[in-house]
Chains A and B, each alone.
Chain A
């Protein structure tokens, strides 16, 4: 009883602080998200203190809750959530990530997606990275001499459309300009944002349960 009262108080304080640092969520919502994070993390009585969600756990959560399946993209999403690069998504990182994930503005989402697609974190999406992300997106025709020809062509078509400064790779500026012209290009190299239905379901589940 005292423990839970203590924890409640703690949660409230924590929520207060975080809600001041993170966009799009109010204090109550942050509170709910904290609780949900704890649930996702597993039971607290396990002894060892856990820093946060590891890659495997993170993947399975995104898979189960938001129906996202592409492992390569999920790695990118994990990398983007894990801001301090310590291989764990902490509670704060989780909530920060969700704020874009669930309620981000177009600007925020552009940056987010770009980061997901920038596999080696060099601030450019290169031909190789694109090829890598698209390599399973077309049915290969075994009859063709080079079964990857279609993908290579698709990469060239995409570069032609998005590479405004013609340096053979996409900078954030290139990406941003292309997406502003055509919003469909936001998730150009794979689904890395949840769809409307799963957002709604998640929010309803998390925010209403605790109210």
Chain B
């Protein structure tokens, strides 16, 4: 069962002994991952679930015979009714030991275990150290190769094994990827990296060489910047180096979070430490290589603080994690001393997370190492002049600095490392306007680097910059705002801006008249200041509290005014801010009432992709509101939105445009208009080969389009049904909610339904009831209703889904009203088939429905009454409803304000009244009086039964 463990066990056949899994957050996390995998297994991989294990998984369980219900023989030892081809049960319980031989049984067992399921998983893993061997057999790899020589049956068997193997492997990858993320929280490889880069320079510098070579042992860099294998990262190790000095054999060095140390000189002794721990590489080299020590002092004023500063910021956050992982089964396995195994882990993780980390990695790598020395010394010299210069020298030096390649990371970090950042920030606190301008011109560029941003904030630089926003010099204001726009990329910086009243000051910058045809030079400067202010607000608006602060400072009308600007470079930050803030209701209302929709629509037709994207995105967020949707139509925004669908290569733009179309299509008038531009045809074409953020919106829109009957056929005609059904196998919850809704809407067309059924769509929708998200559950249940209603042989179809009805009944235990309402609706449809109603009754639908009757939620009441009404029609269910006290609350429903509730309630009462005892209860509760009070004609048949029975 343990997937990660399965893998882990493979790595560590060497390690032995029966470990216990400690109760640590990390283990809990892994166990939950595994549990989740097992829980879903039956539904997601029914075929693989039936595969019989080579050897049973065996462990001491807390379950007892009485925990097992249907599908098990509980006379004597519990045995499952499900048996293998030779007639042996796949689950056998001889207390306290349980033997399980298939995933389907594991899955069931976990469900039976209820609250104790985590305990069961834990016990199973502790007692089955090689689950993969047990599941797939020791030679599964060989079988995979020799598959063809076996008989047909065996070949099929091994095919399942291969699939099972892949499933387990995938699970492993995911869990390990999560682990990696966890680790990068506390390992900071930057300082080590910088130091190595600098040391490398010392190997190349003509006569002054202090070292022969410096190299990493591994070329592969993980997404967190570390090079040590994953399992060593858990020890806090970052990377390994081989340094060749002039006066000794090679040093094998480990760089870890705690410092650096030798693994050996001349030859490596594994991962063992053979020296003291030094705070950084230079210190280590100084003490170990006299040649280095002698020459390094001549050559550099080494900035040793660098490493220690970084270390101080991370004061051993690792012990917590180490304690977490120490002696856990998994990690004792991970910490294997066998290098070959270690390699496996490394290559394995490599493939799992490579794709996502690639870009980031490229960004991190210094662009060009070769010109570093020249620039490094140059920068150090300039910073010296900054420190010791008067205003004139300072300005000259700042101008010289601007000529450096400030967008290059090596330069940016060098400025920080030689103390330049501090000087630049100090200059902001002086009265010298020119020095401030020069300093900001540099800060604005180097703040492209996140590390610079963080250091700036830590040094209190942001406070100075915010203060400058009040300056009477416009150029200064603009530069300060631009710099803030760069720095406020992380939360702490955004909070700092707000705390120093920066939001208010930035909003003030927006106050200008942007759309005059002729501007004086002075007004032009005002417009530029406003543009920079908008850029800064855009960055800041990523924090919710800042959105509120912008609104309070009166930013919305000012943004609205700037929205009329004819210039793209102004519009992009303005619309960017607006769309960012449109996540808040207050903004959505303001955008509508301040008349901004018109301008947003206008700019949909701009020829700038980014601007179009932000406009579409703003409309996407605002069009939740009916009035806004109507305005988009009124200002002719629908056609440009459809045109944007043509730019399918720009995925961000496509996501925004499809999102806007989705939300707009909630209004049927809009759907009609969109149809004129052939939107449906294009949308169906976007159902495949698109990223999920596009698919969610496309499918959402199709769900709305399909509310109109004619469109349902159109979707089929354009080939939309099949890709929709295919999407039901996905995992993105937002997407699943929309897909089920769209499939449900399509299923209201009989021809569509036949097609969906032939694609096995109903089973797929049904299996989504198992999804952990209540949104997906309810959406799936709603979708089932039209499926059952329109399927040709609905009763048979439902019966063919093994365990399906039990699942439905069990969901009546949900605490979510929407889930309950949807399940009741589905039961209403299912119960129309007598045979299925009988099964529902066997699974105990009656008491569960009765238990829900006390609700005050009208939507649930409506569907619940419907379900009760239909469930009455089997056996003694009427009596049971009476016995379980469902009748009295139902009578109370008639007092609801919702007439739909009255109707379904009346129907239910009519059915219940066929039992005389129920009639008495109703009478006691005053049903006649209430009905007469309501006196609506919708209760025709209720009057009929009144006349008949009372």
Name A's B-contacting residues (CB within 8 A). Answer: 133-134, 136-139, 141, 150, 153-154, 157-158, 161, 182, 184-185, 187-191, 195-196
- Taken together as a complex, chains A and B put the C-alpha atoms of A184 and B390 apart, in Å, by 15
Kindly identify, within residues 388 to 444 of chain B, every residue whose CB is under 8 Å from any CB belonging to chain A: 388-393, 395-400, 402-403, 433-434, 437-438
Cβ contacts under 8 Å, A157 to chain B: 396-397, 400
Pairwise interchain contact A154-B388, C-beta atoms closer than 8 A: no
Note all chain A residues with C-beta closer than 8 A to B755.
Answer: none
CB-based contact B381/A134 at 8 Å: no
Q: Are B399 and A150 interface neighbours, CB within 8 A?
A: no
Please measure, in the bound complex, the distance between the C-alpha atom of A187 and the C-alpha atom of B390, giving whole angstroms.
13
Interface centre among B433, B434, B473 (most CB of A within 10 A): B434
Residue of B nearest to A158 (CB): B396
* B385 touches A (CB below 8 Å): yes
With contacts A154-B385, A184-B399 known, is A137 near B390, CB below 8 A? yes
* Least CB distance, B79 to chain A, in whole angstroms: 87
| Contact indicator A161/B388 (Cβ below 8 Å) | no
Report the Cα distance A189→B399, complex, angstroms. 13
| Besides A134-B392, A184-B398, A185-B399, 9 other A-B contacts (C-beta < 8 A) | A139-B389, A154-B393, A154-B397, A157-B400, A158-B396, A184-B399, A185-B396, A188-B399, A196-B433
Does B392 contact A137, Cβ atoms closer than 8 Å? Answer: yes
A-B contact pairs, 17 of them (CB 8 A): A134-B392, A134-B396, A137-B392, A138-B385, A138-B388, A138-B389, A138-B393, A154-B389, A157-B396, A157-B397, A158-B396, A161-B399, A184-B399, A184-B438, A185-B395, A190-B392, A196-B473
A182 touches B388 (CB 8 A): no
Chain B residues closer than 8 Å to A136, beta-carbon distance: 390
Question: In the complex, A116→B777 CA distance in Å?
Answer: 81
Question: A185 to B393, alpha carbons, bound, how many Å?
Answer: 11
Closest to A186 in B: B434
Chain A residues, CB < 8 A from B390: 136-138
With an 8 Å Cβ cutoff, the count of chain B residues facing the other chain is 23
Closest to A195 in B: B433
- In the assembled complex, the CB of A87 is this many whole angstroms from the nearest CB of chain B, namely 27
> What CA separation (Å) do A138 and B391 show in the bound complex?
9
Q: Give the residue of B388, B400, B434 whose beta carbon is less than 8 angstroms from that of A139.
A: B388
Contacts of A187 in B (CB 8 A): 392, 395, 434
User: In whole angstroms, how far apart are the Cα atoms of A50 and B792 in the complex?
Assistant: 116
User: Which of B429-464 touch A at CB < 8 Å?
Assistant: 433-434, 437-438
B472 an interface residue at 8 Å Cβ cutoff? yes
Residues of B within 8 A of A161 (CB): 399-400, 403
A192 CB to closest chain B CB (Å) equals 10
Q: How far is the CA of A188 from the CA of B397 in the complex (A)?
A: 10
In the docked arrangement, what's the CA distance between A166 and B635, Å? 60
- Give B102-135 as 1s and 0s: 1 = Cβ < 8 Å from A's Cβ atoms: 0000000000000000000000000000000000
0/1 interface trace, chain B 695-722, chain A, CB 8 Å (1 if under): 0000000000000000000000000000
A24 to chain B, nearest CB (A): 15
Task: Report if A150-B395 is in contact (Cβ < 8 Å); known contacts: A161-B400, A195-B433.
Answer: no
Whole-angstrom CA separation of A191 from B396 in the bound complex: 12
CA distance A190 to B473 in the complex (A): 20
- Which residues on A sit within 8 Å (CB–CB) of B402? 182
B388, B395, B403, B438 pick with most chain A CB within 10 angstroms: B395
CB under 8 Å from chain A, chain B span 255-271: none
CB-based nearest B residue for A141: B388
* A161–B395 alpha-carbon span in the complex (Å): 13
A154→B397 CA distance, assembly (Å): 8
Is the Cβ of A189 less than 8 Å from the Cβ of B392? yes
Q: Which residue of A lies closest to B398 (CB)?
A: A184
Task: Specify which chain A residues have a CB less than 8 angstroms from the CB of B381 in the assembled complex.
Answer: 153
The answer for the CA separation of A184 and B433 in the assembled complex, in Å, is 10
- A51 to B388 alpha-carbon distance, docked (Å): 43
- In the complex, are the beta carbons of A196 and B472 less than 8 A apart? yes
- Other-chain residue from A137, A141, A182, A188 in contact with B389 (beta carbon distance below 8 A): A137
B403 to chain A: which residues have CB within 8 Å? 161
Complex: chain B residue closest to A130, CB-CB: B396
CB distance from A175 to the nearest CB of B (A): 13
Cα of A187 to Cα of B435 in the assembled complex, Å: 12
CA distance A184 to B392 in the complex (A): 10
Q: Contact mask B464-499 → A, CB, 8 Å, 1/0? A: 000000001100000000000000000000000000
Q: Are A191 and B393 in contact (CB under 8 A)?
A: no
Which B residues lie within 8 Å of A138 (CB)? 385, 388-390, 393
Q: Report Cα–Cα, A141/B390, bound state, in Å.
A: 14
B391 in complex: contacting residue of A153, A182, A191, CB < 8 Å: A191
Residues of B within 8 A of A190 (CB): 392
CA–CA, A125 to B38, complex, Å? 82
Does B400 lie within 8 Å of A184, measured CB to CB? no
Q: Which residue of B lies closest to A185 (CB)?
A: B399
Given A139-B388, A154-B385, check contact A184 B393 (CB 8 Å).
Answer: no
Task: Return the 4 tightest CB-CB contacts between A and B, nearest first.
Answer: A137-B393, A139-B388, A137-B390, A157-B400
CA distance A133 to B395 in the complex (A): 14
A9 to chain B, nearest CB (A): 37
The answer to whether A154 touches B396 (Cβ under 8 A) is yes
Taking the nearest CB of chain B, how far is it from the CB of A67, in angstroms?
A: 11
* B395 CB, nearest partner CB in chain A, Å: 5
Q: What residues of chain A lie closer than 8 Å to B392, measured between beta carbons? A: 133-134, 137, 187-191
- Smallest CB-CB separation from B381: which chain A residue? A153
Are B437 and A184 in contact, CB atoms less than 8 angstroms apart? yes
Nearest Cβ distance between residue B217 and chain A, in whole angstroms? Answer: 42
Distance (Å) between the CB of A208 and the closest chain B CB?
20
> How far does the Cβ of A186 sit from chain B's closest Cβ, in whole Å?
9
Point out the residues of chain B lying under 8 angstroms from A134, CB to CB.
Answer: 392-393, 396
Q: How far is the CA of A153 from the CA of B402 in the complex (A)?
A: 17
Q: How far is the CB of A53 from chain B (nearest CB, A)?
A: 26
Contact at B434–A184, with CB atoms within 8 Å?
A: yes
Residues of A within 8 Å of B400, CB to CB, are 157-158, 161
> Smallest Cβ distance from A129 to chain B, in angstroms?
14
CB closest chain-A residue, reference B441:
A184
Minimum Cβ distance to chain B for residue A8 (Å): 35
Looking at B385, B391, B396, B434, the one whose CB has the most chain A CB atoms below 10 A away is B396
Partner of A182, one of B385, B393, B399, B472: B399
Q: How far is the CA of A32 from the CA of B10 in the complex (A)?
A: 96
Asked whether A150 lies within 8 Å of B433 as measured between CB atoms, the reply is no
Across the interface, which residues of A come within 8 angstroms of B437, CB to CB? Answer: 184
Residue of A nearest to B396 (CB): A158
Nearest B residue to A139 by beta-carbon distance?
B388
Shortest Cβ distance from residue B403 to the other chain A in the assembled complex, whole angstroms:
6
State in angstroms the CA–CA spacing of A177 and B644 once bound together: 45
Report the Cα distance A154→B433, complex, angstroms.
21
- What residue of chain A has the Cβ atom nearest to residue B475's Cβ? A183
Residues of chain B contacted by A185 (CB below 8 angstroms): 395-396, 399
Alpha-carbon gap, A168 to B392, bound state (A): 21
- In the complex, chain B residues 352-405 whose Cβ is within 8 Å of any chain A Cβ: 381, 384-385, 388-393, 395-400, 402-403
Report the Cα distance A182→B473, complex, angstroms.
17
Please indicate the chain A residues that have their CB under 8 angstroms from the CB of B434 in the complex.
184, 187
Inter-chain CA distance A141–B393, complex, in Å, is: 15
**What residue of chain B has the Cβ atom nearest to residue A153's Cβ?**
B381
Residues of A within 8 A of B398 (CB): 184
How far apart are B432's CB and chain A's nearest CB, in angstroms? 9
Q: Which residues of B contact A195 (CB under 8 A)?
A: 433
Task: Name the distance in Å between A185's Cβ and chain B's nearest Cβ.
Answer: 6
Residues of A within 8 A of B385 (CB): 138, 150, 153-154
CA distance A163 to B581 in the complex (A): 49
Question: B437: nearest residue on chain A (CB-CB)?
Answer: A184
Which residue of chain A has its CB nearest to the CB of B472? A196
Measured CA separation A189–B390 after assembly (Å): 11
Interface centre among A136, A138, A139, A191 (most CB of B within 10 A): A138
Q: B389 — nearest CB in chain A belongs to which residue?
A: A138
Given contacts A138-B389, A153-B381, contact A188 B396 (CB under 8 A): yes
B472 contacts across to A, CB distance below 8 A: 196
Cα separation A168 to B390 with both chains bound (whole Å) = 24
Question: Given contacts A184-B437, A195-B433, is CB(A150)–CB(B388) below 8 Å?
Answer: yes
